[in-house]
């Protein structure tokens, strides 16, 4: 089944590619394999895909996994009361991080569920033209920050609801939902060193935003999202938010230093490297570089000691180049050779240096093998070549 | 106040560093060491006794946390191995640069 879909995609979008590339692309998609027996695990440089849990978060969660296991919605005994109070404390911690009121936070299973809940409202309130604007705060592929404050003010003035998916931004840049005039915001737990499987949706109370619940059941979370709130996960999310608030400036400084080191060292060592995305309005931890005359997937495979990605994890199964890069006007060939380096709280200088060294080494090696690169070295302008049809 | 005396703070600092080195995970270990050092360095010049007491309390809680968490992270990492970073010539005293953890070792992952 996989091969049929694969060959259809390839034949559709890449006519005329010779066989070696076909089998190579196949192996790129089928790289779900186990590590060899003694093969060491790679360095982790993919903080946009997910983040490891902070030990402080795990410390906060463990008691609720082991001892305080009550259902937070049980009203009749201490197990329920203590679980509920932990959940409400977590709610407050999440609210404090984004400058909201705890009553405006709904726990969900992740940012995707929060997004779906917000977008569904689009169908409920029919307005003459736009009824909801939805923007990503920080892009997960190139790290660019959107001018949310300006967009928020614009939406408020035009009486349009404004939703933002802040999964990559929460805990990394300062957020205030009132300053930004945001009406709905999606938060993801595992993007800010918290547990996987939990997220939150911020819903403004004044003016009141009404949404239709996605799942119905026992009426938990004020009827907006039925289902038992998983207390240990909620506690983890709350702890992660509190830690993020305390560590925001420190982490930002650390990540900026490391990101600059990575980019400058790579650019100093090899030519024809492009940093995708606005150089100023960006979150430094998401570095997306395009290496000309090198294919992205082959570079990723060559860098097997470092866990990287060539675009967002949610679209990594498809073979198309990143829609984000295409949207910002990157050349097709540069879009195919882009790699995303994710730097986070736990990244060290040694890891960055190692990544730079390996990256430079592999890019040089791959370029040696590339006939296009040979032509460029001889001074031929690639764009002026008329490729003949066979 | 004896609790916040210089000796006490210094011994707390040394204990924190010693416990941080016991994390088997490279990333947690290096983060803990770095964070502890930077936090103490940043608050070096604080004079107000109330603030000092608050900071000392936070340090003590942090120490307890590291002592608890290093155990809960040792068990899942039995047999965990990671890429060996090249040894750095400018090494920080007492911290191994190698990231291999071949066996469940409760001392800093020093079996290279």
State the CB neighbour count (10 A cutoff) for residue A99: 15
Q: Give A194-240 pLDDT, tens digit per residue.
A: 999 999 999 998 887 777 788 888 888 888 888 999 999 999 999 99
Q: How confident is the model at residue B108 (pLDDT cuts 50, 70, 90)?
A: very low
Among B31, B38, B65, select the one facing A345 at the smallest CB separation.
B31
CB contacts of A62 in chain B (<8 Å) are: 72
Q: Pick B110 or A261 by higher pLDDT.
A: A261
Q: Which of residues 23-62 of A touch B (CB under 8 A)?
A: 38, 40-44, 52, 55-56, 58-59, 62
Q: What is the pLDDT of residue B13?
A: 94
pTM comes to 0.81
Cβ atoms of residues B76 and B64 within 8 Å:
no
CA distance B83 to chain A (A): 5
DSSP of A174-202: ---HHHHT-SEEEEEGGGTTS-TT-EEEE
Q: In which residue are the tokens 């400084």 written?
A: A253
Catalytic residues of A: 314
Q: Which residue on chain B is closest to A42 by alpha carbon?
A: B83
Residue B101 has pLDDT above 70, yes or no: no
Q: Which residues contact A259 (CB under 8 A, 6 or more apart)?
A: A284, A285, A287, A341, A343
CB pairs under 8 A between A and B: 55
Among candidates B27, B35, B72 on the partner chain, residue whose Cβ is nearest the Cβ of A62: B72
* Residues in chain B closer than 8 A to A305 (CB atoms): 83
What is the average pLDDT score of chain A? 84
Contacting residues of A for B65, CB less than 8 Å apart: 55-56, 59
Return d(Cα A87, Cα A183) in angstroms, integer: 23
Mean pLDDT of chain B: 73
CB-CB under 8 Å, B69 with A55: yes
What is the ipTM, given to two decimal places? 0.80
- The answer to whether residue A348 neighbours chain B at the CB level (below 8 Å) is yes
A176 vs B: CB within 8 A: no
- Reply yes or no on whether the pLDDT at A372 is more than 80: yes
Please give the C-alpha separations between residue A311 and each of A161, A259, A299, A317, in angstroms, as whole numbers.
29, 17, 13, 10
pLDDT digits (tens, 9 = 90+) for A113-138: 998 888 776 555 545 566 777 888 88
**Distances from the Cα of A173 to the Cα of A146, A166, A298, angstroms:** 12, 10, 33
A241-269 average pLDDT score:
95
- Residue A28 confidence (pLDDT) above 80: no
Residue A271 has pLDDT above 80, yes or no: yes
CB contacts of A248 in chain B (<8 Å) are none
């Amino acid at each position: 089944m996989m091969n049929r879909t694969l060959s259809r995609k390839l034949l559709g979008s890449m006519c005329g590619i010779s066989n070696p590339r076909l089998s190579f692309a196949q192996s790129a998609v089928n790289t779900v394999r186990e590590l060899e027996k003694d093969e060491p695990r790679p360095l982790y440089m993919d903080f946009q895909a997910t983040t490891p849990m902070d030990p402080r978060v795990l410390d906060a969660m463990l008691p609720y996994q082991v001892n305080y296991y009550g259902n937070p919605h049980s009203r009749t005994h201490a197990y329920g009361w203590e679980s509920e109070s932990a959940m409400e404390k977590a709610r407050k911690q999440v609210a404090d991080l984004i400058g909201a009121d705890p009553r405006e936070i709904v726990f969900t299973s992740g940012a995707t569920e929060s997004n779906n809940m917000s977008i569904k409202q689009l169908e409920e309130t029919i307005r003459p033209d736009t009824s909801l604007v939805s923007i990503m705060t920080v892009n997960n592929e190139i790290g660019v920050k959107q001018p949310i404050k300006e967009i928020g003010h614009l939406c408020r003035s035009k009486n349009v609801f404004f939703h933002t998916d802040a999964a990559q931004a929460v805990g990394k840049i300062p957020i205030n939902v009132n300053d930004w005039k945001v009406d709905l915001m999606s938060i993801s737990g595992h993007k800010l060193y918290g547990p996987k499987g939990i997220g939150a949706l911020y819903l403004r109370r004044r003016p009141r935003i009404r949404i239709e619940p996605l799942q119905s059941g026992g009426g938990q979370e004020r009827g907006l999202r039925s289902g038992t709130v998983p207390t240990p996960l909620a506690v983890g999310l709350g702890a992660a938010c509190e830690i993020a608030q305390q560590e925001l400036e420190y982490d930002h400084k650390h990540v900026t230093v490391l990101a600059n080191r990575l980019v400058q060292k790579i650019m100093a060592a090899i030519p024809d490297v492009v940093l995708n995305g606005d150089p100023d309005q960006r979150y430094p931890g998401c570095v997306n570089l395009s290496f000309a005359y090198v294919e992205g997937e082959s570079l990723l495979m060559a860098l097997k000691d470092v866990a990287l990605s060539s675009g967002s994890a949610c679209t990594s199964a498809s073979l198309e180049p990143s829609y984000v890069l295409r949207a910002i006007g990157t050349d097709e060939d540069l879009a195919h050779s882009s790699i995303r380096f994710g730097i986070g709280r736990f990244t060290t200088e040694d890891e960055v240096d190692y990544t730079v060294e390996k990256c430079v080494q592999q890019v040089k090696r791959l370029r040696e093998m590339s006939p296009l690169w040979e032509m460029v070295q001889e001074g031929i302008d690639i764009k002026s070549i008329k490729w003949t049809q066979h | 106040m004896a609790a916040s005396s210089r000796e006490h703070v210094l011994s707390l600092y040394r204990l924190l560093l010693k416990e941080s080195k016991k994390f088997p995970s490279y990333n947690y270990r290096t983060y803990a060491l770095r964070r502890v050092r930077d936090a103490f360095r940043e608050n070096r010049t604080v004079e107000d006794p109330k603030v000092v007491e608050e900071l000392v309390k936070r340090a003590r809680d942090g120490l307890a946390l590291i002592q608890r968490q290093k155990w809960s992270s040792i068990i899942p990492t039995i047999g965990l191995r990671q890429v060996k970073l090249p040894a750095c010539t400018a090494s920080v005293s007492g911290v191994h640069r190698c990231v291999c953890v071949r066996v469940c070792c409760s001392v800093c992952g020093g079996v290279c």
